[in-house]
Protein backbone atom coordinates (compact mmCIF):
# COMPACT_ATOMS: atom_id res chain seq x y z
CA UNK A 1 0.00 0.00 0.00
CA UNK A 2 1.44 3.38 -0.99
CA UNK A 3 2.18 5.89 1.76
CA UNK A 4 2.69 9.62 1.56
CA UNK A 5 6.27 10.58 2.48
CA UNK A 6 6.57 13.42 5.00
CA UNK A 7 9.38 15.94 4.61
CA UNK A 8 10.31 19.26 6.18
CA UNK A 9 10.07 22.30 3.91
CA UNK A 10 13.12 22.61 1.67
CA UNK A 11 15.85 24.71 3.22
CA UNK A 12 14.61 24.14 6.78
CA UNK A 13 15.41 21.55 9.44
CA UNK A 14 14.18 20.12 12.69
CA UNK A 15 16.36 20.63 15.74
CA UNK A 16 15.93 17.66 18.06
CA UNK A 17 16.49 17.98 21.83
CA UNK A 18 20.21 17.09 21.80
CA UNK A 19 20.93 19.78 19.22
CA UNK A 20 18.63 22.25 20.95
CA UNK A 21 20.35 21.85 24.33
CA UNK A 22 23.69 22.66 22.71
CA UNK A 23 22.24 25.55 20.73
CA UNK A 24 20.58 27.03 23.81
CA UNK A 25 23.83 26.74 25.79
CA UNK A 26 25.62 28.80 23.11
CA UNK A 27 22.78 31.33 22.95
CA UNK A 28 22.83 31.71 26.73
CA UNK A 29 26.55 32.46 26.62
CA UNK A 30 25.94 35.11 23.96
CA UNK A 31 23.06 36.63 25.96
CA UNK A 32 25.22 36.85 29.07
CA UNK A 33 27.99 38.66 27.18
CA UNK A 34 25.57 41.08 25.49
CA UNK A 35 24.08 41.87 28.91
CA UNK A 36 27.56 42.35 30.41
CA UNK A 37 28.09 45.19 27.95
CA UNK A 38 24.75 46.80 28.77
CA UNK A 39 22.86 45.70 25.65
CA UNK A 40 19.11 45.26 26.16
CA UNK A 41 17.07 42.42 24.60
CA UNK A 42 14.67 43.18 21.75
CA UNK A 43 12.30 41.02 19.74
CA UNK A 44 10.36 42.02 16.64
CA UNK A 45 7.57 40.19 14.76
CA UNK A 46 8.40 37.50 12.23
CA UNK A 47 6.25 39.46 9.76
CA UNK A 48 6.79 43.01 8.54
CA UNK A 49 4.78 45.16 6.16
CA UNK A 50 6.01 44.49 2.63
CA UNK A 51 6.95 48.14 2.09
CA UNK A 52 9.09 48.05 5.24
CA UNK A 53 11.42 45.46 3.71
CA UNK A 54 11.40 46.07 -0.04
CA UNK A 55 13.97 48.45 -1.44
CA UNK A 56 16.34 48.03 1.53
CA UNK A 57 18.54 45.16 0.31
CA UNK A 58 19.13 45.90 -3.36
CA UNK A 59 17.56 44.12 -6.32
CA UNK A 60 19.05 40.74 -5.42
CA UNK A 61 17.86 41.00 -1.84
CA UNK A 62 14.35 41.92 -2.95
CA UNK A 63 14.15 38.65 -4.86
CA UNK A 64 14.95 36.69 -1.69
CA UNK A 65 12.17 38.14 0.47
CA UNK A 66 9.48 35.62 1.45
CA UNK A 67 6.23 37.41 0.65
CA UNK A 68 2.88 36.64 2.33
CA UNK A 69 -0.20 36.87 0.13
CA UNK A 70 -3.05 39.17 1.05
CA UNK A 71 -6.25 37.61 2.30
CA UNK A 72 -9.21 37.41 -0.06
CA UNK A 73 -9.29 38.70 -3.61
CA UNK A 74 -5.82 40.29 -3.46
CA UNK A 75 -4.22 36.99 -2.49
CA UNK A 76 -5.97 35.20 -5.33
CA UNK A 77 -4.42 37.78 -7.64
CA UNK A 78 -0.97 37.14 -6.17
CA UNK A 79 -0.71 40.40 -4.23
CA UNK A 80 1.38 40.49 -1.03
CA UNK A 81 1.03 42.93 1.85
CA UNK A 82 3.33 41.26 4.39
CA UNK A 83 6.70 39.48 4.29
CA UNK A 84 8.86 37.39 6.59
CA UNK A 85 11.71 39.21 8.28
CA UNK A 86 14.81 39.20 6.00
CA UNK A 87 17.28 40.44 8.63
CA UNK A 88 17.25 42.12 12.05
CA UNK A 89 18.62 45.54 11.08
CA UNK A 90 15.65 46.89 9.11
CA UNK A 91 13.21 45.89 11.88
CA UNK A 92 15.51 47.74 14.32
CA UNK A 93 15.30 50.83 12.12
CA UNK A 94 11.50 50.61 12.18
CA UNK A 95 11.44 50.20 15.97
CA UNK A 96 13.62 53.29 16.47
CA UNK A 97 11.42 55.33 14.10
CA UNK A 98 8.25 54.21 15.90
CA UNK A 99 9.66 54.94 19.36
CA UNK A 100 11.21 58.42 19.26
CA UNK A 101 11.25 58.59 23.07
CA UNK A 102 13.82 55.78 23.32
CA UNK A 103 16.79 57.06 25.33
CA UNK A 104 19.86 57.41 23.12
CA UNK A 105 22.25 55.80 22.72
CA UNK A 106 20.01 52.74 22.46
CA UNK A 107 21.92 49.48 22.86
CA UNK A 108 20.01 46.39 21.81
CA UNK A 109 20.74 42.77 21.10
CA UNK A 110 18.44 40.48 19.16
CA UNK A 111 18.67 36.71 18.62
CA UNK A 112 15.88 35.59 16.31
CA UNK A 113 15.32 33.67 13.07
CA UNK A 114 15.24 35.33 9.68
CA UNK A 115 14.02 33.95 6.36
CA UNK A 116 15.43 34.19 2.83
CA UNK A 117 14.12 32.54 -0.31
CA UNK A 118 17.64 31.47 -1.23
CA UNK A 119 18.69 28.31 -3.00
CA UNK A 120 19.33 25.73 -0.24
CA UNK A 121 22.82 24.25 -0.06
CA UNK A 122 25.10 22.62 2.50
CA UNK A 123 25.23 24.96 5.50
CA UNK A 124 22.81 27.40 3.85
CA UNK A 125 19.22 27.44 5.02
CA UNK A 126 16.13 29.44 4.19
CA UNK A 127 15.45 29.86 7.90
CA UNK A 128 18.36 30.66 10.19
CA UNK A 129 19.20 32.68 13.28
CA UNK A 130 21.02 35.98 13.49
CA UNK A 131 22.62 37.30 16.69
CA UNK A 132 22.90 41.08 16.39
CA UNK A 133 24.17 43.73 18.77
CA UNK A 134 23.74 47.38 17.74
CA UNK A 135 24.20 50.83 19.26
CA UNK A 136 21.95 53.55 17.86
CA UNK A 137 22.30 57.29 18.39
CA UNK A 138 26.02 57.95 18.90
CA UNK A 139 28.92 58.73 16.57
CA UNK A 140 31.53 57.92 19.23
CA UNK A 141 34.24 55.43 18.27
CA UNK A 142 33.67 53.90 21.71
CA UNK A 143 30.55 52.32 20.19
CA UNK A 144 32.63 50.57 17.54
CA UNK A 145 35.10 49.47 20.19
CA UNK A 146 32.34 48.10 22.44
CA UNK A 147 30.80 46.06 19.61
CA UNK A 148 34.16 44.55 18.65
CA UNK A 149 35.13 43.89 22.27
CA UNK A 150 31.76 42.24 22.87
CA UNK A 151 32.21 39.79 19.98
CA UNK A 152 35.81 39.24 21.11
CA UNK A 153 34.66 38.27 24.63
CA UNK A 154 31.78 36.12 23.32
CA UNK A 155 34.12 33.96 21.23
CA UNK A 156 36.54 33.61 24.12
CA UNK A 157 33.68 32.58 26.44
CA UNK A 158 32.62 29.96 23.89
CA UNK A 159 36.14 28.50 23.97
CA UNK A 160 37.64 29.83 20.73
CA UNK A 161 41.34 30.68 20.81
CA UNK A 162 42.07 30.95 17.09
CA UNK A 163 40.14 34.00 15.92
CA UNK A 164 41.29 37.38 14.61
CA UNK A 165 39.23 40.55 14.16
CA UNK A 166 40.10 42.23 10.84
CA UNK A 167 39.36 45.98 10.85
CA UNK A 168 39.25 48.58 8.07
CA UNK A 169 37.47 51.86 7.34
CA UNK A 170 35.05 52.67 4.55
CA UNK A 171 36.57 56.11 3.95
CA UNK A 172 40.05 54.59 3.69
CA UNK A 173 38.79 52.19 1.02
CA UNK A 174 37.42 55.16 -0.91
CA UNK A 175 40.80 56.90 -0.64
CA UNK A 176 42.66 53.78 -1.80
CA UNK A 177 40.56 53.51 -4.97
CA UNK A 178 40.95 57.25 -5.62
CA UNK A 179 44.72 57.03 -5.16
CA UNK A 180 44.79 54.17 -7.68
CA UNK A 181 43.21 56.59 -10.16
CA UNK A 182 39.65 55.30 -10.62
CA UNK A 183 37.38 56.98 -8.05
CA UNK A 184 34.44 56.59 -10.43
CA UNK A 185 34.90 52.79 -10.42
CA UNK A 186 34.97 52.43 -6.64
CA UNK A 187 32.18 49.89 -6.30
CA UNK A 188 33.56 47.58 -8.99
CA UNK A 189 37.08 47.70 -7.58
CA UNK A 190 35.95 47.00 -4.03
CA UNK A 191 33.66 44.15 -5.08
CA UNK A 192 36.71 42.48 -6.61
CA UNK A 193 39.02 43.21 -3.66
CA UNK A 194 36.45 41.74 -1.29
CA UNK A 195 37.09 38.35 -2.95
CA UNK A 196 40.84 38.44 -2.27
CA UNK A 197 40.80 35.80 0.48
CA UNK A 198 38.82 33.46 -1.80
CA UNK A 199 40.45 33.85 -5.22
CA UNK A 200 43.83 35.43 -4.39
CA UNK A 201 45.75 38.25 -6.08
CA UNK A 202 45.73 36.53 -9.48
CA UNK A 203 41.97 36.02 -9.34
CA UNK A 204 41.27 39.61 -8.32
CA UNK A 205 43.64 40.92 -10.99
CA UNK A 206 41.82 38.86 -13.60
CA UNK A 207 38.42 40.07 -12.44
CA UNK A 208 39.54 43.71 -12.47
CA UNK A 209 40.87 43.26 -15.99
CA UNK A 210 37.59 41.68 -17.10
CA UNK A 211 35.77 44.68 -15.61
CA UNK A 212 37.83 46.95 -17.86
CA UNK A 213 40.17 48.32 -15.18
CA UNK A 214 43.46 49.33 -16.85
CA UNK A 215 46.62 47.37 -16.01
CA UNK A 216 48.45 50.44 -14.68
CA UNK A 217 45.56 51.10 -12.28
CA UNK A 218 45.72 47.53 -11.03
CA UNK A 219 49.49 47.88 -10.55
CA UNK A 220 49.00 51.07 -8.49
CA UNK A 221 46.31 49.34 -6.45
CA UNK A 222 48.61 46.43 -5.53
CA UNK A 223 51.43 48.87 -4.73
CA UNK A 224 49.15 50.66 -2.25
CA UNK A 225 48.14 47.31 -0.76
CA UNK A 226 51.67 45.90 -0.66
CA UNK A 227 51.59 45.84 3.18
CA UNK A 228 47.86 45.50 3.92
CA UNK A 229 48.39 44.95 7.67
CA UNK A 230 50.49 48.14 8.07
CA UNK A 231 48.14 51.09 8.59
CA UNK A 232 50.87 53.73 8.42
CA UNK A 233 52.32 52.25 5.22
CA UNK A 234 48.91 52.32 3.54
CA UNK A 235 48.39 55.88 4.76
CA UNK A 236 51.73 56.92 3.30
CA UNK A 237 50.77 55.38 -0.05
CA UNK A 238 47.34 57.03 -0.13
CA UNK A 239 48.06 60.51 1.21
CA UNK A 240 46.26 63.08 3.30
CA UNK A 241 42.81 62.35 1.85
CA UNK A 242 42.72 59.37 4.22
CA UNK A 243 43.79 61.39 7.29
CA UNK A 244 40.41 61.33 9.10
CA UNK A 245 39.86 57.61 8.49
CA UNK A 246 43.37 56.71 9.66
CA UNK A 247 42.97 58.85 12.77
CA UNK A 248 39.71 57.00 13.51
CA UNK A 249 41.43 53.65 13.14
CA UNK A 250 44.33 54.59 15.43
CA UNK A 251 41.85 55.76 18.06
CA UNK A 252 39.76 52.61 17.65
CA UNK A 253 42.78 50.32 18.13
CA UNK A 254 43.74 52.31 21.24
CA UNK A 255 40.24 51.83 22.68
CA UNK A 256 40.40 48.11 21.95
CA UNK A 257 43.74 47.76 23.75
CA UNK A 258 42.19 49.45 26.79
CA UNK A 259 39.21 47.07 26.62
CA UNK A 260 41.50 44.03 26.51
CA UNK A 261 40.59 43.01 22.96
CA UNK A 262 43.99 41.84 21.72
CA UNK A 263 43.12 39.61 18.75
CA UNK A 264 42.66 42.55 16.34
CA UNK A 265 44.52 43.53 13.18
CA UNK A 266 44.28 46.21 10.53
CA UNK A 267 43.42 44.80 7.11
CA UNK A 268 43.38 47.22 4.18
CA UNK A 269 41.84 44.55 1.92
CA UNK A 270 38.69 44.13 4.03
CA UNK A 271 35.95 45.63 1.86
CA UNK A 272 32.60 44.43 3.17
CA UNK A 273 29.24 46.02 2.64
CA UNK A 274 30.39 48.68 0.22
CA UNK A 275 27.84 51.54 0.31
CA UNK A 276 25.99 50.05 3.29
CA UNK A 277 28.73 51.11 5.72
CA UNK A 278 29.99 54.62 6.44
CA UNK A 279 32.88 54.15 8.91
CA UNK A 280 34.87 51.32 10.44
CA UNK A 281 34.10 47.80 9.20
CA UNK A 282 35.20 44.51 10.72
CA UNK A 283 35.08 40.75 10.29
CA UNK A 284 36.01 38.04 12.77
CA UNK A 285 37.71 35.05 11.15
CA UNK A 286 38.92 31.73 12.49
CA UNK A 287 42.56 31.04 11.70
CA UNK A 288 42.47 27.29 12.44
CA UNK A 289 44.04 25.18 15.20
CA UNK A 290 46.14 22.15 14.18
CA UNK A 291 44.70 22.33 10.70
CA UNK A 292 41.12 22.72 11.89
CA UNK A 293 39.05 25.72 10.91
CA UNK A 294 40.54 26.09 7.44
CA UNK A 295 37.87 27.38 5.10
CA UNK A 296 35.51 28.31 7.93
CA UNK A 297 35.77 31.98 7.08
CA UNK A 298 33.91 34.75 8.83
CA UNK A 299 32.03 33.99 12.06
CA UNK A 300 31.05 37.57 12.94
CA UNK A 301 30.96 40.87 11.07
CA UNK A 302 29.73 44.42 11.31
CA UNK A 303 30.55 48.08 11.11
CA UNK A 304 29.22 51.61 11.28
CA UNK A 305 26.21 52.45 9.11
CA UNK A 306 25.11 56.00 9.92
CA UNK A 307 22.70 56.30 6.99
CA UNK A 308 20.53 53.21 7.47
CA UNK A 309 18.65 53.45 10.76
CA UNK A 310 17.14 56.82 9.87
CA UNK A 311 15.56 55.51 6.64
CA UNK A 312 12.08 55.54 8.19
CA UNK A 313 12.26 58.75 10.21
CA UNK A 314 13.71 61.06 7.59
CA UNK A 315 16.56 62.10 9.88
CA UNK A 316 20.13 60.87 10.14
CA UNK A 317 20.58 58.50 13.05
CA UNK A 318 24.12 57.19 13.64
CA UNK A 319 24.42 53.47 14.28
CA UNK A 320 26.99 50.72 14.59
CA UNK A 321 26.64 46.99 15.12
CA UNK A 322 27.98 43.49 14.79
CA UNK A 323 26.31 40.19 13.93
CA UNK A 324 27.59 36.86 15.25
CA UNK A 325 27.00 33.88 12.94
CA UNK A 326 25.27 31.40 15.24
CA UNK A 327 24.87 28.63 12.65
CA UNK A 328 28.49 28.76 11.52
CA UNK A 329 29.79 28.88 15.10
CA UNK A 330 27.67 25.88 16.08
CA UNK A 331 28.93 23.92 13.06
CA UNK A 332 32.57 24.59 13.95
CA UNK A 333 32.03 23.83 17.64
CA UNK A 334 30.34 20.54 16.72
CA UNK A 335 33.20 19.55 14.40
CA UNK A 336 35.79 20.37 17.06
CA UNK A 337 33.98 18.61 19.90
CA UNK A 338 33.55 21.88 21.77
CA UNK A 339 29.91 21.11 22.59
CA UNK A 340 30.57 17.91 24.55
CA UNK A 341 28.61 17.75 27.78
CA UNK A 342 25.99 20.26 26.68
CA UNK A 343 23.17 17.71 26.72
CA UNK A 344 20.00 17.46 28.73
CA UNK A 345 19.90 19.51 31.96
CA UNK A 346 18.01 16.66 33.67
CA UNK A 347 20.24 15.37 36.45
CA UNK A 348 18.37 12.22 37.43
CA UNK A 349 15.57 9.85 36.53
CA UNK A 350 13.29 9.13 39.48
CA UNK A 351 12.43 5.47 38.95
CA UNK A 352 9.21 3.72 39.93
CA UNK A 353 10.08 0.60 41.92
CA UNK A 354 6.50 -0.61 42.36
CA UNK A 355 2.91 0.63 42.45
CA UNK A 356 3.21 0.93 46.25
CA UNK A 357 6.19 3.34 46.06
CA UNK A 358 4.82 5.68 43.33
CA UNK A 359 3.70 8.33 45.84
CA UNK A 360 7.10 8.34 47.56
CA UNK A 361 8.86 8.68 44.18
CA UNK A 362 6.65 11.62 43.19
CA UNK A 363 7.34 13.31 46.53
CA UNK A 364 11.08 12.79 45.95
CA UNK A 365 10.81 14.37 42.49
CA UNK A 366 8.93 17.35 43.91
CA UNK A 367 11.60 17.80 46.58
CA UNK A 368 14.42 17.71 44.01
CA UNK A 369 12.69 20.31 41.86
CA UNK A 370 12.03 22.54 44.87
CA UNK A 371 15.77 22.36 45.60
CA UNK A 372 16.50 23.55 42.05
CA UNK A 373 17.58 20.19 40.61
CA UNK A 374 16.00 19.08 37.32
CA UNK A 375 14.70 15.52 37.46
CA UNK A 376 12.45 13.38 35.31
CA UNK A 377 9.96 10.80 36.57
CA UNK A 378 9.65 7.44 34.78
CA UNK A 379 6.31 7.53 32.95
CA UNK A 380 6.03 3.84 32.13
CA UNK A 381 4.79 0.99 34.26
CA UNK A 382 6.49 0.56 37.67
CA UNK A 383 9.10 -2.18 38.00
CA UNK A 384 11.74 -3.36 35.49
CA UNK A 385 14.52 -1.08 36.77
CA UNK A 386 16.84 -2.25 33.98
CA UNK A 387 14.47 -0.84 31.39
CA UNK A 388 14.32 2.44 33.29
CA UNK A 389 18.11 2.62 33.58
CA UNK A 390 18.50 2.02 29.83
CA UNK A 391 16.02 4.82 29.09
CA UNK A 392 17.91 7.24 31.34
CA UNK A 393 21.22 6.29 29.74
CA UNK A 394 19.81 6.82 26.24
CA UNK A 395 18.59 10.27 27.29
CA UNK A 396 22.01 11.19 28.65
CA UNK A 397 20.68 11.48 32.21
CA UNK A 398 23.62 10.87 34.59
CA UNK A 399 21.81 9.46 37.64
CA UNK A 400 18.91 7.19 38.51
CA UNK A 401 17.18 7.48 41.90
CA UNK A 402 15.65 4.30 43.29
CA UNK A 403 13.08 4.18 46.10
CA UNK A 404 12.26 0.63 47.07
CA UNK A 405 10.31 -0.29 50.23
CA UNK A 406 13.50 -0.48 52.31
CA UNK A 407 14.64 2.99 51.20
CA UNK A 408 11.18 4.46 51.81
CA UNK A 409 11.05 2.99 55.32
CA UNK A 410 14.54 4.23 56.22
CA UNK A 411 14.22 7.70 54.62
CA UNK A 412 16.99 6.88 52.16
CA UNK A 413 17.45 6.90 48.38
CA UNK A 414 19.63 4.63 46.24
CA UNK A 415 21.62 6.87 43.91
CA UNK A 416 22.98 5.08 40.82
CA UNK A 417 25.57 6.74 38.59
CA UNK A 418 24.74 5.30 35.18
CA UNK A 419 28.10 5.92 33.51
CA UNK A 420 29.95 3.70 36.00
CA UNK A 421 27.21 1.58 37.56
CA UNK A 422 28.23 2.74 41.04
CA UNK A 423 25.33 2.85 43.49
CA UNK A 424 25.19 4.35 46.98
CA UNK A 425 22.38 4.56 49.50
CA UNK A 426 22.24 8.00 51.12
CA UNK A 427 19.83 9.98 53.28
CA UNK A 428 17.01 11.53 51.29
CA UNK A 429 17.89 15.06 52.45
CA UNK A 430 21.37 14.72 50.95
CA UNK A 431 20.36 13.60 47.44
CA UNK A 432 20.02 17.09 45.93
CA UNK A 433 23.58 18.05 46.85
CA UNK A 434 24.94 14.69 45.67
CA UNK A 435 23.54 15.00 42.13
CA UNK A 436 23.65 18.78 41.74
CA UNK A 437 25.87 19.85 38.78
Higher pLDDT, 55 or 395: 395
Check pLDDT > 90 for residue 339.
no
Per-residue pLDDT, averaged over 187-207, amounts to: 87
pLDDT value, residue 265: 96
Q: Which of 32-41, 204-213, 303-312 has the highest mean pLDDT?
A: 32-41
**Separation between Cα atoms, residue 93 and residue 42, nearest integer Å:** 12
CATH 3.30.930.10 boundaries in the chain = 17-40+88-335
pTM: predicted TM-score of the whole model, two decimal places: 0.86
Domain 17-40+88-335, second-level architecture: 2-Layer Sandwich (3.30)
Closest alpha carbon to 242 in 195, 183, 194, 304: 183
What's the sign of the alpha-carbon dihedral 45, 50, 52, 54? positive
pLDDT value, residue 3: 56
CATH 3.40.50.800 boundaries in the chain = 348-435
pLDDT-derived band of residue 308, with 50, 70 and 90 as boundaries?
confident
Q: Directed axis angle between helix 170-180 and helix 231-238, to 10°?
A: 50
Chain segment 215-243, per-residue pLDDT in tens: 998 899 999 999 999 999 999 999 898 99
Share of residues in the chain with pLDDT > 70 (%): 96
Per-residue pLDDT, averaged over 93-103, amounts to: 92
Domain 348-435 class in CATH = alpha beta
Q: Directed axis angle between helix 170-180 and helix 186-193, to 10°?
A: 110
Check pLDDT > 50 for residue 38.
yes
**What is the maximal distance between C-alpha atoms in the chain?**
92
Per-residue pLDDT, averaged over 293-311, amounts to: 80
146 neighbors 246 (Cβ within 8 angstroms): no
Chain segment 402-411, per-residue pLDDT in tens: 999 999 999 9
387 neighbors 436 (Cβ within 8 angstroms): no
Instruction: Give how far Cα 67 sits from Cα of 47, 291, 368, Å.
Output: 9, 43, 48
pLDDT-derived band of residue 66, with 50, 70 and 90 as boundaries?
very high
Amino acid sequence: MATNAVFAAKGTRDLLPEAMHRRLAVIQTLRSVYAMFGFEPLETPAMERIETLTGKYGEEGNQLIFKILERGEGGREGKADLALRYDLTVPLARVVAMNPALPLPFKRYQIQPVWRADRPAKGRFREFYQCDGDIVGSTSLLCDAECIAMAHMALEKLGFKDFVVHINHRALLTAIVAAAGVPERETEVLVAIDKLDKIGVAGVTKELSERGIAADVVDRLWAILASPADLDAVFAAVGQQAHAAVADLHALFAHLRSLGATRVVFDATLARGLGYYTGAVYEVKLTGVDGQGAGVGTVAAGGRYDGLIGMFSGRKVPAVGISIGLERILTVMEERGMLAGKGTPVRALVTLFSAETVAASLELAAGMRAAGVAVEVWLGEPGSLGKQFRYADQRGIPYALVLGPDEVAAGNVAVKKLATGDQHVIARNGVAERIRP
